[in-house]
A and B are shown apart, each in its own frame.
Chain A
Amino acid sequence: MNNFGTLYKYEVKKIVCKKLFVVMCVLLLVLIALTPFSGLFGAYYENGEPVGSSLDIYKIEQSRKMALSGRTIDYELLKETVEAYRQVPDELRYTSTPEYREYAIGYNEIFAFIRMSTGMDFKAIKAWEPDEEELYKSRKETLNRYFEESFITDAELKFWKEKNDKIDGPFTYTYHDAYEILIDSFQTVSVIVMAFIAIVLSGLFPNEKVLKTDQLILSNVLGRKSTFEAKLLAGITVSLGCSLILSALLFAECLGYYGTQGFEFPFIMVFSVSAIDISVGQACVIAYLVLQAAVLLWAIIVMVMSEFLKNGIATLAISMVFIIAGGMISFPASMRAVGQIWDWLPTNYPAIWNMFDERTLPIAGKCLISWKVVPIIYLLVGTALFFTGKRKYERVSAE
Chain B
Amino acid sequence: MELVIDRLSKQYGAKIAVDRISVKLNKGVYGLLGANGAGKSTLMRMICGILKPTGGTVTFDGIDSDKEAFRAILGYLPQDFGYYPEFSAKDFLLYIAALKAIPKKEAKKRVAELLELVGLSDVANKKIKTFSGGMKQRLGIAQALLNRPKLLVLDEPTAGLDPKERVRFRNLLGSIGKDCIVILSTHIVSDVEHLSDEVMIMKDGSFIFQGKWNDSEMSLEDFYLSQFEEDEDHE
Contact = CB atoms under 8 A, between A and B. Distances in A.
The answer to whether A and B come from one shared complex is: yes
Given A10-B91, A213-B83, A213-B84, A2 B76 contact: no
B87 A221 contact: no
Interface of B: 45, 48-52, 68, 71-72, 74, 76, 78, 80-84, 86-87, 91, 94-96, 98-104, 143, 147
A187 interface: no
A353 B98 CA distance: 47
Contact of B84 (A6, A14, A222, A225): A14
Which of B45, B51, B74, B84 has the largest count of A CB atoms less than 10 A from its CB? B84
Given A17-B86, A211-B84, A216 B91 contact: no
Given A13-B91, A216-B78, A223-B71, A7 B45 contact: no
Nearest to A207: B84
Interface in A208-254: 208, 211-225, 227
Contact of A220 (B94, B96, B103): B96
Nearest 6 interchain pairs by C-beta: A212-B82, A213-B82, A17-B86, A220-B99, A6-B98, A3-B98
Interface of A: 2-3, 6-7, 10, 13-14, 17-18, 208, 211-225, 227, 397-399
Nearest to A10: B95
Contacts of A222: 98-101
Contacts of A227: 99
Contacts, number: 92
A224 B65 CA distance: 13
Contact of A6 (B50, B76, B94, B147): B94
Contact of B52 (A17, A212, A214, A397): A397
A399 B51 CA distance: 6
Given A10-B95, A398-B45, A398-B51, A211 B83 contact: yes
Given A222-B98, A397-B50, A397-B52, 7 more contacts: A212-B81, A216-B78, A219-B74, A220-B101, A222-B101, A223-B71, A223-B99
Given A13-B91, A219-B49, A221-B71, A214 B82 contact: yes
Contacts of A219: 48-50, 71, 74, 76, 78
Contacts of A221: 68, 71-72, 99-101, 147
A24 to B, nearest CB: 16
Contacts of A399: 51
Given A215-B50, A216-B76, A221-B68, A13 B82 contact: no
Nearest to B82: A212
Contacts of A6: 94-95, 98, 104
A307 to B, nearest CB: 16
B76 A225 contact: no
A217 B81 CA distance: 12
Nearest to A8: B98
28 contacts: A3-B104, A6-B94, A6-B98, A10-B91, A10-B98, A13-B86, A14-B86, A211-B84, A212-B80, A213-B82, A215-B45, A219-B74, A220-B74, A220-B96, A220-B100, A221-B68, A221-B72, A221-B100, A222-B98, A222-B99, A222-B101, A223-B71, A223-B99, A225-B68, A227-B99, A397-B52, A398-B45, A398-B51
B87 A13 contact: yes
A309 to B, nearest CB: 20
B86 A7 contact: no
B78 A212 contact: yes
B184 to A, nearest CB: 15
Contacts of B95: 6-7, 10
Contacts of B143: 216
B99 A217 contact: yes
Contacts of B76: 215-216, 219
Contact of A211 (B82, B100, B104): B82
Contacts of A212: 78, 80-82
Which of B78, B95, B102 has the largest count of A CB atoms less than 10 A from its CB? B95
